[in-house]
Structure 1
Amino acid sequence: MTEPSKILLSGIVGSTAYGLAGPDSDIDRLGVFAAPTADFHGLDFPQESVVSSKPDITLHEARKYASLALSGNPTVSELMWLPDNLYETRHPLGDELIGIRQAFLSAKRTRDAYLGYATQQFKRLEARGDGSFSADTRKRTAKHARHLLRLCSQGLELFSTGQLRIRLDDPQRYLDFGERVADGDIDHARRVMAGYEAAFDEKPSVLPDEPNRAVVEAWLRRVRAAFYEVQR
């Protein structure tokens, strides 16, 4: 596991952060860490990601994290937008990362990423048919449906306002949607998807055409400088 001293930012994400967690929900953690700068000077790059199940945490090295966030990856990006009480580690360079979160945003990548992830969820729903499946499969179907709606609503808000709200205003809306789709109403999910696709097309975006890579690059270079030690 990555040394705590090298973790720049970490926090509780997923259903707990959205307000959708149930009694059986896992607590998911996400973080970004800095590998020693000298490790990039050899033949092989250091490990880019560290995943643990005890506890459930995924850590991405700073360069990989920045690349994923620049692509609009919703799961990775939410780390920079958590409510303060959900952060568990905040290095000064992690605070800087939160401070430049707008630099990662762009209109097309936000649209494509959020709708793309939502479409993945919908395909999983569609493959399960009319709701005539086991209790365990039904539970997974309801979960995928909830996250489909969440991705669409969060993505559209980010696209149109430039702000990503992690905690959902009305969690029950998403829970009810999940149960309805799990009961077999796949057409309802299809209509919701179509409605959000149309909304993305109709609403103007406040986001720029391209992310500000220069700002992100400058942050990453500060990380490299901070974690450079001469190896003898």
Structure 2
Amino acid sequence: MTVPHVILSGIVGSTAYGLAHEGSDIDRLGVFAVPTAELHGLHRPKESHVSTRPDRTLHEAAKWCRLALGGNPTAMELVWLPDELYEVRTPFGDELIGIRSSLLSASRVRAAYLGYATQQFRRLEAKAAGPVTEEVRRRTAKHARHLKRLCAQGLELYAAGRLTIRLENPQEYRDFGERVADDPAVALPMLRAHERAFDETASVLPERPDEAAAEDWLRRLRAHLHADVTNGN
């Protein structure tokens, strides 16, 4: 899959968290920009490109901004990666990293991270309700790891305004996954504890994100690509 005007892209997922094992897929996430002239046509350009082998998701710049402003955990990962995990990093990508904190808000971070964590809990509950095979056990452990990670990363972002992608103690998350695979009831107290922690923690984030920062960045990107075409580049 060749997508023009990729402005920021990197390795995300289990590799970035430090949870990858032998045989794990390498997930990539990125942002691309549709040529400005294509935005004026009858049909809207495609906003996302998803491929497998390699596993890569690219969101158009405006869509990525909407996701980030909504607190989407997957989108937010991209602008908090360790430097060595970026594979494409343009000046506009650097600018996007530079405004990452402006895109955050307390209510949306809380809702998004706890919402995604709850989805993981529902998935492991559903897996546990059926016959317990080795595959079910593996999937249950995976959902549990993601549940714990989302809770921990979301609370850090909410409380401190920063997101640490590389987990400090990956083994702790693996062990938690195995305990939940043995007894799914272990997961609920952890989720409830983090819900209480959000309730009891004062957030450093504003109540609303700074949409103007994203709007300014996006308009300058559109103007830059329009100028490239006008100048024959």
Q: TM class, shorter-chain normalised?
A: over 0.9
AA at the equivalent of 1:28:
D
Contact 2:8 2:90 in 1 (8 A): yes
2:206 and 2:178 map into 1 onto residues whose CA distance is 37
2:216 aligned to which of 211, 215, 218: 218
- How far does the alpha carbon of each residue in 1:136-193 deviate from its partner, in whole angstroms, 9 at most, with x for none? 121111111000000000000000000000000000110000001011x222100000
Alignment deviations for residues 94-123 of structure 1 (CA, whole Å, 9 cap, x no partner)? 000000001110000000000000000000
Identity within the alignment, %: 63
Q: Which residue type is aligned with residue 154 of structure 2?
A: G
Which of 185, 188, 194 in structure 1 is aligned with 2:186? 188
Other structure's SS at 1:218 match: helix
Give the deviation of 1:2 after TM superposition: 3.9
1:49 matched residue in structure 2: 48
Q: Is it true that 1:109 corresponds to 2:108 in the alignment?
A: yes
Preserved contact between residue 120 and residue 143 of structure 2 (Cα < 8 Å)? yes
Task: Give the secondary structure class of the aligned counterpart of 1:129.
Answer: helix
Give the 3-state SS of the residue equivalent to 2:145 in structure 1. Answer: helix
Assess if the C-alpha contact under 8 Å between 2:124 and 2:139 holds in 1.
Answer: no
Deviation, structure 1 residue 62? 0.2
Q: What does 1:69-88 correspond to in 2, within 5 Å?
A: 69-88=68-87
Cα drift, residue 129 of structure 1 = 2.7
**Equivalent residue number for residue 121 of structure 1:** 120
Q: Secondary structure at the match of 2:29?
A: strand
Post-superposition shift, 1:128?
2.3
TM-score (norm. length: structure 1)? 0.96
> What is aligned with 1:63?
62
Provide the residue aligned with 1:19 in structure 2. Answer: 18
Q: Is the 8 A contact 2:35 2:225 kept in 1?
A: yes
SS in 2 for 1:154: helix
- 1:78 CA displacement: 0.4
Distance 1:63 1:24 in 2: 34
In the alignment, the residues of structure 2 paired with residue 162 and residue 33 of structure 1 have an alpha-carbon distance, to the nearest angstrom, of 26
Q: CA deviation at 1:127?
A: 1.4
- Is the 1:2–1:50 contact (alpha carbons within 8 Å) kept by the matching residues of 2? no
Secondary structure, aligned partner of 1:174: helix
CA RMSD of aligned residues (A): 1.5
Q: 1:208 maps to what in 2? A: 206
Q: How far did residue 54 of structure 1 move?
A: 2.4
- Give, in angstroms, the shift of residue 135 of structure 1: 1.1
Q: Secondary structure at the match of 1:30?
A: strand
